[in-house]
Amino acid sequence: MARALNLLSTVVLAGGLLVGVGTPTQAAGRTPEVIPIDLMLAGSYTDAAREAIEIWNTAVPTIKFVEQDTPAALRVMEYKTARGVQSHVNIKGAGRGWVYLEVGDAQLYKPSRIVVHELGHILSLPDLGPGSPCAKVMSGGWAGSDCVNVQPDAAEKAAVRDFFAAHDVGDRVPWWGSGTPAR
């Protein structure tokens, strides 16, 4: 009888371990950080924005943009300037703020790359600046108009994962606040 109970205990414990096996997010007990986003003002950038949302949701499973059809804390808006190149963000905390997509930028750069780049800012990533390679979505316009890469690289994904492991949606983005909009 004791031997049967020991065997039964071993089976129950092993079964409990198997039930606990899952994705890294599940294993850590974390559900993705949900970032509500609305595209009501995205205009001609709507499809590109949806593509960018899917790219980030796939690239970093610990965050999840969720489109809604009412105003959200993160809004995407198409607009036009006299210069024709001024896509940028106004961050109101991680995952919150405005993404402004300039109509003229879509004539020079791949629209989904523009949105992936700008959402990268919303997710805590800064611009990389002159000389940065096309392989980095945060190189933005510095990579040139022939750059069509829309996939964040491993370091960019890790930086977003690490940021949201230590911060929540709405927390201050450390580099933001210099008074200069991120482009």
| pLDDT top residue among 180 and 148 | 148
CA trace torsion 90, 175, 133, 147 (10° rounding): -10
Q: How far apart are CA 173 and CA 124, in angstroms?
A: 6
At 183, the pLDDT band (50, 70, 90 cuts) reads low
Residue 66 in domain = yes
| Per-residue model confidence as pLDDT tens digits over 30-43 | 789 999 999 999 99
Residue 33 in domain = yes
Residue 53 in domain = yes
| Per-residue model confidence as pLDDT tens digits over 40-97 | 999 999 999 999 999 999 999 999 999 999 999 999 999 998 887 789 999 999 999 9
Is pLDDT at 15 greater than 50 in this prediction?
A: no
3-state secondary structure of 121: helix
For the domain that residue 136 is a member of, what is the CATH number? Answer: 3.40.390.10
Residue 3 in domain = no
Q: How far apart are CA 94 and CA 128, in angstroms?
A: 18
Q: How high is the pLDDT of residue 28?
A: 53
Is pLDDT at 9 greater than 70 in this prediction?
A: no
Residue 135 in domain = yes
The residues, ordered by sequence, that sit 6+ positions from 180 with a Cβ below 8 Å of its Cβ are: none
Number of domains in the chain: 1
| Per-residue model confidence as pLDDT tens digits over 93-124 | 999 999 999 999 999 999 999 999 999 999 99
3-state secondary structure of 88: strand
On whether the pTM is more than 0.85, the answer is no
Residue 112 in domain = yes
Residue 183 in domain = no
Domain enclosing residue 35, as ranges: 27-166
| Per-residue model confidence as pLDDT tens digits over 145-172 | 999 999 999 999 999 999 999 999 999 9
